[in-house]
Amino acid sequence: MTGIADGRVVIVTGAGRGLGRAHALALAAEGARVVVNDLGVGLDGGPGNGDPADRVVAEIRAAGGEAVAHGGDIATSAGAASLVATALEAFGRLDTLVNNAGFLRDRMLVNLDEDDWDAVLRVHLKGHFLPLRHAAAYWRAEAKAGLVPCARVVNTSSGAGLSGSVGQGNYSAAKAGILVLTLVAAAELKRYGVQVNAIAPAARTRMTERTFAETMAAPASGFDAMAPGNVSPLVVWLGSAASAGVTGRVFEAEGGRITVMEGWRRGPSADGGARRTAAEAGETALKLLAQAETPGAVYGAQ
C-alpha cells in the first residue's frame, strides 16, 4: 500500500470504532503502519464487549496493510508509555500521533457529579496529554541526537469545545482544554520538528447518537455527510509530511466541509488610562458589547 502516508508509523487512540477506526483504516490505505489503540470500553467508559482494536487490525491486514493492536489505558502514564513503546518495538519509529480516545457521561450541571466530571476530563484531556507527552519525549531525544523528526500530532476536540453544549459541561470543558493544549504543544515542540494541530469533527458515531439524532440516518443513496470516513482525509493529510508548515491550527470537519477556526481574538477595546468605578466599568463594557460580534449559540440552548 502506498500513498500520502507511505512508510509513516502512526498511533491512533480510540481506534476500535467510529472516527478512530475510520482514521486508522484511511491511514493504512495511504501506506502508514498503524498502532491501533482501544480499551474496548462502553460508551460511558464502563466494561465493553469484545476487542475492537484486534478487529480493526485484522481489517487493515486483510487489505494488505500493517498494523498492531494496543489495549492499554492511555490516560495512565504507564499505558501511554507502553503505547509509544509498542510503535517502536513493532515498527522501529514513531511519526504521527492521532489522539482520539474518549467517552461520554452527559448530565446537566446540577446533576453532574464529581466522578462523571473526573472520568470525562481524565479520558479526553489527560488521555491527550499523556500520549503527547511520551511521544514528544521520544521526538525531542531524536532531535537532540541530530535526527530531525518530521513528526505530527492530530488532537481531537469538538464543536462542544468550541461553543459549549448543553448537558455536556464535562465534555465541553475537556474538549476546550484540548484546543489550548494544542496551541501550547505546537509552540513548545516546533523546535523539535513536531507539528501539532486539532480537529473538531462531526460524524455518525455511538457518541453522537443523541446529539445528532435528527441527522444520523445514512441516506439511501448519494453522499452520506455524517459518515466518519469523511473526516479522515484531513487527519491523514495533517498526519503526513505533506502538511509541512501547518501547526497550531484548529479545523472543523463535517461531511464535505472543512473550516479553519480562528479562535479567540481581541475585539473592541477601551483604555481609560486610570482605574474605573464599577459603574464606569459597566458603562464601558456595554459600549464595547454594542460594537462586538454576537457570539455563536451553545449547542442545545433554547
Cβ neighbours for 221, distance < 8 A, ≥ 6 positions apart: none
How many Å apart are CA 237 and CA 244, to the nearest integer? 10
Q: Vertex 293, ends 288 and 299: CA angle to 5°? A: 125
Q: What is the DSSP letter of 165?
A: B
Q: What's the full length of the chain, in residues?
A: 302
Q: Give the burial string for 251-284 (b: 16+ CB within 10 Å, else e).
A: bbbbeeeeeeeeeeeeeeeeeeeeeeeeeeeeeb
**Residues 177, 225: contact at Cβ < 8 Å?**
no
Amino acid, res. 20: G
Q: CB 296: neighbour CB atoms within 10 A?
A: 11
Q: Which of 126, 175, 192, 240 is catalytic?
A: 175
171 among known catalytic residues: yes
The CA distances from residue 25 to 18, 40, 170, 222, 233, in Å, are 11, 17, 30, 22, 11
269 among known catalytic residues: no
Q: Which of 82, 138, 165, 171 is catalytic?
A: 171
**Phi then psi dihedrals of residue 168, to 5 deg:** -135, 50
How many Å apart are CA 15 and CA 262, to the nearest integer? 28
How many Å apart are CA 279 and CA 231, to the nearest integer? 49
Q: Which of 157, 158, 172, 243 is catalytic?
A: 158
Smallest Cα–Cα separation from 68: which of 77, 51, 56, 50? 56
82 among known catalytic residues: no
Residues noted as catalytic: 158, 171, 175
